């Protein structure tokens, strides 16, 4: 049977939650998780590009370069995007998601029109979701309401 994590009376009165990890673990995760996501993305792009053929050196290089660019852009977004206003914050994440999905689809030998259409569709959906999230969780200046 599951039980709630123990909290002190002060935490309950202030409405705070129990933080399982310390600040160091959060700093490490802020770099490690985007790098792991980038490696998965790079592998996926390289696998799409080789069309089920043999793995070559050029294919590995393409995968690692794709992962490097993805990691740099993702870490930059995680650093810069929270400082933006909520509309631009949502637009930046939507553009990133749309470009990432469109690029993956383009590596699977699909037409450029389908790739762009898929990217724009993902971008529109991501923008709607992220804008709603930031609109309900932040004030007009970008300060969290929680």
Cβ neighbourhood burial of 77 (10 Å; 0-12, 13-18, 19+) = middle
Give the angle 26-66-72 at the CA atoms, nearest 5°: 35
**What's the pLDDT score for residue 110?**
82
pLDDT above 90 coverage of the chain, percent: 53
Query: Per residue in 59-114, pLDDT tens?
Result: 899 999 999 999 999 999 999 988 888 889 899 999 999 999 999 999 988 889 99
Query: Per residue in 18-37, pLDDT tens?
Result: 667 778 888 888 889 999 99
Q: What mean pLDDT is predicted for residues 106-134?
A: 92
State the CB neighbour count (10 A cutoff) for residue 40.
12
* Per-domain boundaries in the chain: 22-83, 85-146
């Amino acid at each position: 049977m599951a039980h709630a994590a123990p909290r002190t009376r002060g935490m309950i009165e202030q409405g705070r939650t129990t933080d399982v990890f310390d600040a160091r673990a959060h700093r490490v995760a802020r770099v490690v998780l985007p790098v792991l996501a980038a490696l998965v993305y790079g592998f996926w792009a390289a696998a799409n590009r080789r069309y089920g053929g043999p793995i070559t050196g050029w294919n590995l290089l393409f995968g690692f370069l794709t992962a490097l660019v993805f990691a740099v852009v993702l870490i930059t977004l995680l650093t810069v995007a929270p400082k933006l206003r909520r509309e631009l914050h949502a637009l930046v994440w939507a553009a990133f998601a749309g470009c990432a999905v469109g690029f993956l689809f383009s590596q699977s030998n699909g037409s450029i029109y389908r790739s762009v259409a898929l990217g724009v569709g993902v971008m529109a959906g991501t923008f709607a979701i992220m804008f709603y999230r930031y609109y309900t969780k932040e004030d007009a200046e970008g300060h969290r309401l929680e």
